[in-house]
Each structure stands twice: as C-alpha cells, then as structure tokens.
Structure 1
C-alpha cells in the first residue's frame, strides 16, 4: 500500500487540478432533462413579468445555471432572480424554497440602511458632514463624545471611521471579534462608541458593522421615530415591501447592519430602486442626488472594489470592455447585483452559515451564466503567442496597496501567476498583453499587463470577482 504522504500528495494535486481547471463552456453543458423554464407569475407585489425571449435573453445559459445548482455544482443556493428593463424575467427557487420565504439579509441590510440615511438627509434631518458625537450627548464620559472624535456621518457611511474596530482579523467565532462581541452583549451603543480613534477618519476602509448600527441610531434620534417605523413609513410601505422583522439588541437597538429579513422579490425592488435613481414605479422614494452619492467611489474595499455609501462598486469584463456595476453583499451568498448599462438586476440567496465559498459562488454564477445570457457573449477566444514573447511578462510584482507579492513564470500554454497568498494560476493569452485564468474559488481571472508593446511590462492588473488589484514589477525575470 502506498505511504500516507504519497496518497496525500496525489489528493492535493487532484484537488488543485480541479480548482484551477476551466469549466465546461456554458453552451456545451448538460441541461437537467426535468428542468422547464416558466415565466415568473404575476403577483400582488407590483412586479411586471416577461419571458426571457421577449426580453432578448438567451434561455440556455440560465437553464444550465439551474441545472448546476440542482446537481450541487453550486451547492446551498436558495434562489436566483433576474430583472431586465424593470420586468421580472427569471425566478427560480431550490431545495424546497419559495417566493414567499423570508431570508436574513446579513450585510445586505447595510445597503438598505444607507437608503434610510439618504431619506433622512433628503428630509433635512441630518447631513453627511455632521459630527457623530453631536447625536450622542447622553454618552458623556466616553472619549469619542468628550474629546470629541472628528468622525462624521460620511465617515461611517464609507467605513473610513478611523477607529480600532476589528471585524476581519479574527473569525466570527472569536469572542474578541468586534461584531461578535457587540452582538453577544446587551448594550450595543456604548460598546461601539468606546472604540478608540487610531488614525484620521477618511484614511482607510475598515469594515465595521457597528458603524452602521450608529447610522441607524442617528436616523432614529434625528427623526424621533424608531428606525423600524421610519423604514416602514418612508421605504418599505411606499414600495410594497413587507418585512418579517428586523433583529434587535436586548435593549431594542435595531440591528441594521445585518438583521433585516426580506423576500427575494423585495430584494430585487431595492436593486431596481437604485437602478432607477431613487424612483420606484414613478414614485420618488429617495433623491437622485443621494443615489449618485451612494454609488460614487469614496475608498477602496476588499478585492479592489470601490466603496460608496454602504454599496460596493465593481466592473465586469464583457467582450474586452469594462462594464460598471454595483452590489449589496451579505454573508454566505445574499446578493443584489445591478448593472446599469444592461438595465439588469440579479438577486441571489443562499445558506448563510456553514456555507464555505457561498459568497464567491454568486459572482461566478453572475459572470459565467447570467451575463452571457443577457449579452450573448462568451468567454474570450485564445490568442496565439510564442514563448519568446511570453518571457517578457515573467518576474516578481508587488500589490500597490497591501504589499503582497506575486510571481509570474512561463507556463505550458501561457503564463503562471502565483500570488504569495494563494495557489499558482495558469493563464492563457487572449490578446496582446492580456491573459485569462480560472479558479474554482473565484471564477475567471483577467490579467492585463501595462506597457508599450516593445517594452517589458512595469505592472499588471488582476481582475476577479468584479474587483481590480494592481501589481507593480519589483524584479525582472
């Protein structure tokens, strides 16, 4: 019998091969013979519906997507909805889920809270430049209030608050994780306000659910209304959205950073509202100015995404063109994607807990199935390039923002890009200075080397999960 180390090596190699092998092209994938597309039903929720054919959307990629969810290629997915030109054209539920079911939004709640802040701004109740401490004078004795810290509502909206809140360096299971410590306690507001200022506000993105809780409390205090009542009166009722509930602290503070429960059709309404610049079915809900401000990049977030007012901003690579999009993102695979140029809204829900890879899977489904169905465009075709031409890309590069390094070497059919924090990624040429790779963890990765054709590249862009990372050369081949 082979030694254990040898078996482990073979398994590791096999897993790596699966992780980085290209998927079967969507147009060649098998379709579950029991799958039948049906036009979404008209209900009393205000949505108009339309067939995929009438919307000019190809059915085959979406039938393939439904089949891959059914056969567990994409496990633990609950629903996929697509809205095109303001009409619901695709609605599928899986694993016995249905359209009337409510799902905890987790951090999608933050993007909804941003809309509530915008409504309060529109009403003249608050302003983005207002210092946060002016709304919490009843918390004297805390340094944030007494000193006071120069943190504004705008700093909270952009997650550039400057405090020592730590939600990312420790797992959620760790009691020292800031969001875990907050939700484990009874009195959330003093816990949040007791965090120390460690850098100038506006300097750096630091994801912090507690800052969104402060935003909700500010809206409540400025309006004189419970945040849930404010949301019902000015957002949910005007849009015909019924919510099952909004999780609260033991003392009644609304968990507006992660505790909202919505149905998928109502998630799509939130996306459509933002797509239509604050209007839902001819009625103004929030100002166009607020929507524009929310979708303007203020800081750089994870994966090189832009970040506005509690909304992430990205770009999809479609036929060698960059197409802007924005999205709300929640734990485990709760997403609202909006692609303005295509007049497209896509919604995904999934098992939020114990769902490894659930977040990234939605990006892969969006890029590999939804966008090709809508645009009719497939993955770029291979481009011929000789090994002598490829050698100019080899070398060591460093990510501009984090300092992480990546090594580029020659590969069997192109190049290998090897980030210091990850596995080797084989990438094939698809054009001058352009390569495409694939990972089961992130989907397609696009690499573009930046230089004149005759010169050695000085940097490259890596695009994946709709984000962008730029690496500069630090060492030649």
Structure 2
C-alpha cells in the first residue's frame, strides 16, 4: 500500500475516533454536536501538522533526507489517533449507576427503606397505595437509559413515612448534595424565622433598613429606597440583575467572577423597572437577603441556621461550602443529605411544625408558598413563584394538584404536595444539562398521577 493510501486510512481512522468521542465523552446535542466534532477534528489536525513539522526539522538537523510529505505525516497521524483514544479514555465516565451484568440491563426489586434514628419513620410503599411498578420503571430508567444518567437520589415520602429511597453511583444515605439554587428555598425558611424572633418586623420593610452599610446607595435613589424584603423574596426588585440574561450586568456569573463586595455591586446597578411588577431571577438578590438577616439578628447565618432550623430538625450532617468574600458570617450555600433535604419539605407540609415545636409560623409557610409572581422560564412553562419557592402546576386529566418546589441547577428538586400529603426528592449532577429537568417530567407523567390514584 502506498504512503498516500496509508495516510488516507489513518486520517479517516483519526476523524472516526473524533466522531466517536462525541457520544462517549460529551452530552452535546443539536448544533453543539457539530461544534464539538469540529473542535476534536481541529485538535487532531493541528496535532498531525505540528508533529509533521517537528519530524521535518528533526530530519534536517540530523542531515537526514526528508521523504515526501505523505510519508512524513504518516507516523504523526498514527500518533494523534492513539492520542485521541487516550484523550477519550481520560474523559470517559467509567462510573455506573448500579452494578449489573455488562451485557444485560439492571432489574430493580423494591426494598423497604432503612430505618434510622433521624426522625423519619419508614413504611411499605404498597401499604400506602404506591404502585411499585411505576417505581420500578423510574429506577430502571435512571440506571439503564443514558438520557436519564447521573441521578444521585430519589426519595418518595407519603403520610410522614419514607416509602421509596434509592441512591445511584457512589451516593448513599449519608452523602451530601450540592443543592445549588435549592438553597434559595432554605433562605425562605430562614427569613421566616426572624419574624418570630422579632428581628424583622414586616416583609414590607425596605431592605435598606437591614443593610445600613449601603445607605448612600439608597439615599439618592428613591426607587431603590422602596425595594422591600418581599420584592427580594419574589425576585421583583426592579434592579438590572437577571441570571437568565447573559448580558445583564447583575448576572450571577458576572458578579461571582468579580472581586469586592457583591451586595454593593447589586444595589449599585441601575433600576430597569419599578419594584414589584417584573420578575427577574437574581441569585445575588437572594444572598443580599441573607446578609440582611445576619445584620438584623446579629448572628452569623450558619450559627443562626444551626440554632433555629438544623438542630430542631435533627440535621447534623451538613456542610457550608460558599461564603461572601467580605462577610465570612454570610454563607450562601449548604449541602444536605437527601433525607434532610426532605425534612424541609415535611416542615412546610406540617405548617412549620416539627415534632410538636413551631419552627416557623404557619402564616409564613402559607405566604411563602403562595404565588406572588410568574416566572419568565419558557422551558419550564412559566411556573409561578412564591417567596423563593417555585409553583409548578400538575394536572391529572382535568384535575389540578397544587404544590410547591425547591429546585436548583443540576436536577435538585424537593416537591411538596399538601393535598397528597407527599414529598419527593431528586438530586443529580446534571449541571447546566438538559437532563436536569427530567425529574419535573417524571413528576408530571408518572408520580403525580400515581399519587392522585391513591386519593380515589
């Protein structure tokens, strides 16, 4: 075989390997598939060219005659094909949701959840009317279907009992979850507690009352001066801060990458609407509420949460992972186990009561889970929004089953349905991936209809 044909074979093989890398190591779809393919082919081609040039100059330095360019490029083509295979092996995810036969699919058998001394009783799913065939379908999908991969946990609680509890990959009952924006609903609970303690008098109070360090930003800005705590809770501050708009100067990614005082940067932004009528999703706005709480209570937020929320709920296994650069007393992200995440839902299902103690007032539970705004998220169907709680509509035929949800990037969901007396938790690592909304579709298509059937 001539050098030209050999080079053509190895080039074709190299390009084929680049194409195989797309489904093997990326989650690209649509136009991104072609962008990734072009990127891999470019890496391969540049590598061949670079190695060919090195070979040429090494031959010159050794006073060795250079053969034709096809012969010179042959060995670099082989080397880059091997390199791309190694590149794929390095990035390939060898982890598996659950162990099972390599040539067969995983088959699920229902098992009673683990009974622990953590405040959760357990129960048999079938005894509460749960169709375990539906559960089997969902769990097997998480293990066998690549379109549903990287799910970490799935818990179903009904009538205050854990009925279904499943973990995947290396996650267990004790694993902590990166809840991302589901932390906003935790903030909602924590904001409700200072009202009981007398630290904050009303949601109609201007937030500037509790952020005196920025008084000059509000003094000459009458529209900013009337931004209330409720405006911040409902994402209706009117500030030019929108995490769903990359061009927004208050986009979280822009502010997170900047130095200095993030909350000062937030309130230094221009007002683009009056406070109140327009929803604009702002993570920095939620963090500002945390700083206001710390100022009002005079207690670091982690200590406040421990005293008034985590300790009463017997939540011991948790970790704060992010704090404001200039305010170490204002942590803004906490990791919880899936069971403890569910406790927050049960607290609200019980109207703020846990084991006989009123942790947060029933009035606050009602107010924070009432729809105060309509979101601008078309992908999710423009759901409603309460005080940092989501409000999706779930229909079974022509019957509406209302609930409220905490949710965060990557597929972190806590669904609460008072009428169904049920809580469902999903956690996963599908960060910024379309798979992160799979649980929402599962709820609509399978779980809510199954739970609704138990009411008939």
Establish whether TM, by shorter chain, passes 0.5: yes
- Which residue of the partner structure matches residue 326 of structure 2? 251
Q: Does 1:370 align with 2:444?
A: no
Q: 2:106, 2:144 within 8 Å by CA — same for their partners in 1?
A: no
Q: 1:39, 1:90 within 8 Å by CA — same for their partners in 2?
A: yes
- Which residue of the partner structure matches residue 208 of structure 2? 133
Q: Which runs of 5+ in 2 are unaligned?
A: 1-28, 31-103
Q: TM-score, normalised by structure 1?
A: 0.68
What is the rounded CA distance, in whole Å, between the counterparts of 1:94 and 1:51 in structure 2?
Answer: 21
What is the rounded CA distance, in whole Å, between the counterparts of 1:272 and 1:205 in structure 2?
Answer: 28
SS in 2 for 1:304: coil
What is the rounded CA distance, in whole Å, between the counterparts of 1:268 and 1:98 in structure 2?
Answer: 15
Q: 2:113, 2:164 within 8 Å by CA — same for their partners in 1?
A: yes
Size of the aligned set, in residue pairs, is 343
Q: 2:235, 2:282 within 8 Å by CA — same for their partners in 1?
A: yes
2:423 to 345, 352, 362: 345
Q: TM-score, normalised by structure 2?
A: 0.71
Q: 1:186, 1:250 within 8 Å by CA — same for their partners in 2?
A: yes
What are the within-5 Å matches in structure 2 for residues 31-430 of structure 1?
34-72=107-145, 73-126=147-200, 127-142=202-217, 144-148=218-222, 149=224, 150-170=226-246, 178-184=251-257, 185-242=259-316, 243-253=318-328, 259-301=333-375, 302=377, 303-353=381-431, 355-376=432-453
- Which residue of the partner structure matches residue 442 of structure 1? none
Q: 1:129, 1:152 within 8 Å by CA — same for their partners in 2?
A: yes
What is the rounded CA distance, in whole Å, between the counterparts of 1:176 and 1:159 in structure 2?
Answer: 16
> Which one has the bigger helix percentage?
2
Q: 1:328, 1:335 within 8 Å by CA — same for their partners in 2?
A: yes
What is the CA distance between 1:32 and its match in structure 2?
A: 5.6
What is the rounded CA distance, in whole Å, between the counterparts of 2:350 and 2:230 in structure 1?
Answer: 23
Q: 1:338, 1:346 within 8 Å by CA — same for their partners in 2?
A: yes
SS in 1 for 2:113: coil
What is the rounded CA distance, in whole Å, between the counterparts of 1:256 and 1:359 in structure 2?
Answer: 25
Q: 1:136, 1:145 within 8 Å by CA — same for their partners in 2?
A: no
Bigger CA radius of gyration: 2
What is the rounded CA distance, in whole Å, between the counterparts of 1:47 and 1:325 in structure 2?
Answer: 21
Q: 1:57, 1:375 within 8 Å by CA — same for their partners in 2?
A: no
Q: Which runs of 5+ in 1 are unaligned?
A: 1-14, 17-30, 378-477
> Which one has the bigger strand percentage?
1
Deviates more, 1:157-166 or 1:355-364: 355-364
SS in 1 for 2:148: coil
RMSD: 2.1
